[in-house]
Structure 1
Amino acid sequence: MGKKRKKGKCAKNAQNSEGGTYIEEENVIHAPHVLIINRGHLPSRLMELIKNTRSIFEPYTSSKLKVRSSNTFKDFVSIAGTFHIHHIISFSMTETAYNMRICRVPHGPTLFFKLIGATLAREVDQLIRKPIKDQVSESEIEIDGPENQIVLPQNISGKGNIKSHQSAIRLVEMGPRISLKLIKIEDGLCQGKVIYHHYIKKSPDELSRLEEIHRKKRKLKLLKTNNKLKLKRKIGSKKNSSFNSAKKRKKEIGIP
């Protein structure tokens, strides 16, 4: 037999002392979560941007999620309720552009963006460590003052960081920086009425006709859903009736 593999430090920290299972805090479990995914094969730089974006939403996202080519968008929507996912952010690529889509699940709306430019977290870190005068704005420079003084609730590593003493804090940009252009808004989940389109403008008459088409589609969808529910109830009722009849016959002939 091979040598038993030891658990690493991260694996041990992810277990509790009693059951050996990961325990997530209650406020984290029930908080709104966001799922950040890629659609199709993307270049390494864009995949790194996805990783950076996930780090922004921690712990309210799955940082190490691996999307398989067989996964469809519906697969992620189907698990949204179980994992308290309220939004899905997806990155994709066409022949001419990189795109980002933000969806409110389960009913929309959906915002479609074109990715204009991005600075990765590691590149932002390099700019902060070695600032170039022309690239660092006044908003990126913090000066110590009363507004950034706090009383420490506990001892913290570092010179002079003692419990109950005042210490200055500074916000440091972590990145990434993303520049986006809003292209389209749909009122449903990746479908439905187009509320806004950057390139296509419609007249009031055209908008009225489209609204009527979408109204009929919603009505038809609701009708289909109701018919499916009625069919399920009917099948369930027949099964219960057959079961009760069989049970009654067994009782009449003395079978327990």
Structure 2
Amino acid sequence: MGKRKGRCSKKNPASKQALEPEHLVKAPHSFVIHRGNCSKDLIDLTKDFRKVMEPFTASQLKERKKNTLKDFLSVSGFLHVSHMIVFTETELGTYMRLARLPRGPTLTFRIHNYGLARDVISSLKKQYVIMKAFQNAPLIVLNSFSGEGMHMKLMATMFQNMFPTINITTVKLKNIRRCVLMNYNPNTKLIDFRHYVIRATPVGLNKGTKKVVQGKIPNLNRCKDMSEFFDKAGQLSESEFEEDPQAQVLLPQSLASRGATADSKSAVKLYELGPRINMQLIKIEDGLMDGEVLFHELIEKSEEEKALIKKRREEKKRLKEKRKSQQEENVKKKLRVKEELKQKSLEGIKIKKEMTESQRLMELAAVESQNVGDMEQDDEDDADYYRREVGAEPEQDLFSENSRKRRADDNSVRGFKKMRLDKKLKKKFQKNQEPDKKVNKKNQNERFGKNQDGKKKFRNQPDGRNNKASKGQKPFSNQKKVFGGKINKNKMGRSREGKSKGKSRK
């Protein structure tokens, strides 16, 4: 019995990548981004160009201002990205850079004018937009790119390598739903970029039959019979025309659209999706966004200037490598010093742990003996001073250690505060006292004229009350006391009396 697969094996990205076909892995992938301060229209153009490059592009790529080209270059190898299209905007104009990753070359185009996809679709009378067409890569068509010059060949090669190649023997016509057309005008040196969706319609049928074949519901409101709908003359209006015979082809395979079956004659129609771009090649660089200029449309330099620029670039490269090597040496040196300090600290900790308890006790004993010696020396100094000043021998316990330390009356250690007990603990402590102490306390109460509870007896009254309390005054225990031991006879405090006086004055 085989091993049962769990959830982790199903969601493992490595297993999914292994199951991905090889032609999809080798297909050219692209990044389409914008850099710098760009207008809202240019950002929308970037999104429209991502739709053109689908499905082999990062359509939901979120670029930030702090991201650099090195950040995109670092992840391009893992994601099989081979091309990068960068849109920028300055005061002079709008530019598009097409770069081959990871080492170039880089082509810089100046965009003269452009139209967004939403504007193109809204301007068409017949609009045909289908989302299934973006599931496969478009077909690239180049026109008039066979001019003289190495820059023309390089530009044509870059455009062709942006899209996956087509194998004629294994290609399926139903997967080719879009096409990108690039037309080069040698007179103006402008490149027209257009994006279309391809649709095939049956040919040789009248208007009514074509509607039924294509799955459209016909309008039979003006017809008495179904045959009248098919045989009715004048089905074509003045705005409609017959398809061009050059656009009619014999389909070798069946297409996804209705009526376009194999070995049937169909007409190929193109519906524009947008965007529209008119651009011009300005510069070709050898490296990635920075390198030797191989071609420039506006600036021409002599051989001496080219040699000087090349020399400066080599010196700059050499200086950069030197700084990089020096920085690596400094980093290694810091790591070496850090490791040495770490080893020293570890050795110190190890030595400290190896010290035994006896060694620490010996050190403590040596410190205590030194303190005792210092105290004895101080005692001898005091005795000598007494002899010199008084002229007689001091008493035996005058400068001894016992004479300096005073003891408390209850033989407790001096220097510590007595612990105050709570009432409950105090009562518990009093109950546990010796019986002779209780007897002594009873005799003492009788001696001073107190009750068993310890309260003072009054001689005037047999019940312990004072004569003054019987005249209408409160007992002594219930009277309130103020600061200084005086008795507050009035019920109201001073603050309340002051408030009442203030009210009476008003």
TM-score, length-normalised on structure 2?
Answer: 0.35
Q: Name which one, 1 or 2, has greater alpha-carbon Rg.
A: 2
Q: Within the alignment, does 1:115 sit opposite 2:115 as a pair?
A: no
What is the SS of the residue equivalent to 1:201? coil
| CA shift for structure 1 position 53 | 0.9
In structure 2, the residue matched to 1:213 is 312
User: Which one of the candidate residues 177, 180, 185 is aligned to 2:276?
Assistant: 177
User: Which one of the candidate residues 70, 73, 82 is aligned to 1:86?
Assistant: 82
Higher helix share: 2
| CA shift for structure 1 position 206 | 0.9
User: Which one of the candidate residues 48, 51, 54 is aligned to 2:47?
Assistant: 51
For residues 204 and 53 of structure 1, what CA distance do their matches in structure 2 show?
39
Q: RMSD between aligned alpha carbons?
A: 3.5
What is the SS of the residue equivalent to 1:35? strand
Alignment deviations for residues 194-240 of structure 1 (CA, whole Å, 9 cap, x no partner): 22333332222111222233344455666777x59x97xx99xx9xx
In 2, are the aligned partners of 1:150 and 1:169 still within 8 Å (CA)?
no
Cα gap change, 1:67/1:220 in structure 2, threshold over 3 Å: closer, same or farther? same
Which ranges of structure 1 fall in alignment gaps of 5 or more residues? 1-17, 132-139, 239-256
Query: 1:167-246 residue pairs with structure 2 within 5 A?
Result: 167-218=266-317
Query: 1:98-113 residue pairs with structure 2 within 5 A?
Result: 98-113=94-109
For residues 61 and 81 of structure 2, what CA distance do their matches in structure 1 show?
14
- Residue type of the alignment partner of 2:46: I
In structure 2, the residue matched to 1:63 is 59
- Structure number with greater CO (CA < 8 Å, separation at least 6) is 1
- Residue type of the alignment partner of 2:34: N
179-188 vs 54-63, which deviates more? 179-188
The size of the alignment, in residue pairs, is 205
In structure 2, the residue matched to 1:241 is none
| CA shift for structure 1 position 162 | 4.1
| CA shift for structure 1 position 68 | 1.8
In structure 2, the residue matched to 1:95 is 91
In 2, are the aligned partners of 1:149 and 1:169 still within 8 Å (CA)?
no
- Residue type of the alignment partner of 1:149: L
- Residue type of the alignment partner of 1:81: G
In structure 2, the residue matched to 1:12 is none
In structure 1, the residue matched to 2:244 is 143
TM-score, length-normalised on structure 1?
Answer: 0.65
In 2, are the aligned partners of 1:152 and 1:166 still within 8 Å (CA)?
no
In 2, are the aligned partners of 1:151 and 1:166 still within 8 Å (CA)?
no
For residues 53 and 31 of structure 1, what CA distance do their matches in structure 2 show?
18
Query: 1:2-13 residue pairs with structure 2 within 5 A?
Result: none
In 2, are the aligned partners of 1:153 and 1:163 still within 8 Å (CA)?
yes
In 1, are the aligned partners of 2:34 and 2:88 still within 8 Å (CA)?
yes
For residues 29 and 106 of structure 2, what CA distance do their matches in structure 1 show?
16
In structure 2, the residue matched to 1:31 is 27
Alignment deviations for residues 137-173 of structure 1 (CA, whole Å, 9 cap, x no partner): xxx9x7344753313336x353x33456443332333
